[in-house]
Amino acid sequence: MKKISKTLVTTLAFYLCFGGAAQARSITSISPPTGPGQGDIFCTQVQTPVNTPFPNNNNSTAASQNQILNFPGLSCTPKTFQAIAPIDTQLFVEPSGGTTEYFFTETAVNNTNSTWNGFSFKIGFGVNDNFGPPELILVPYGFAIPDFDFNGSSSDPQPTSSKFTQLLQDGSFNLQWSGGSVAPGESVDFTFSVDAPDDLDGNDFSSSFTIRELPSAKPVPEPTTINGVLIILGILSSRLALKHKMKVAITEQR
């Protein structure tokens, strides 16, 4: 099991002990994305402000959705992957008095040498080596954390992908896409909804959360493996040619 760093544990402990007496959160801003998936791409350190015209709009209709378009926003949009590795984006929240729902749109670009056969989104806390998913965090009674909203309600928009057709609903904190492919140089569009929920008993769990994204790809055969296959095919071809020549020679002698 993955261990949570001391930094993350300390941060969570701070939130639990000194969180305000609010009963909910809404998203206020988005940090620039970070992580090994970006390779050598530098994202300018520009916070993207988030407008929330409809606070506490849980299970909202399309007409009353808070929208975060072109996620993550002002810095490194569209999100470009140069390696099959995670990219983390931190979102900051503040009390709002109820559960607030957001509708996201995003484009991810495949700038790797591999064809993607899947793509995952995961909600957690912290970034890079300090990232911890909710299933590894013991959340006390009375606390709630943001989650992906795909409960099948007729009023809630369901997650979509322009390249993948199959979605594994692995709990409320994970979206796992498959059933498609994104070749190098291509891009894929996603939409999804996130709820920033109420806490019970007037608790406020954290001042931020993270959306981690990670493409998956089939392993590319090593050059030595390819060369080995070519050698075997060459030997088989030579043997077949030799057998054919011997058969022709015997026929001519007769």
Q: How confident is the model at residue 78 (pLDDT cuts 50, 70, 90)?
A: very high
Sign of CA dihedral 33, 117, 109, 107: negative
- Which amino acid does the sequence have at 71? F
Average pLDDT score over residue span 144-159: 74
Two tokens at 83?
């390696």
Query: What pTM does this model have?
Result: 0.76
Cα–Cα distance for residue pair 172/194, rounded to 1 Å: 10
Q: Does residue 79 surpass a pLDDT of 90?
A: yes
Of residues 173 and 251, more confidence is placed in: 173
Confidence of residue 108 (pLDDT cuts 50, 70, 90): very high
Q: Which of 203, 144, 208 is nearest to 172 (CA)?
A: 144
Of residues 119, 127, 120, 54, the one with CA closest to residue 89 = 127
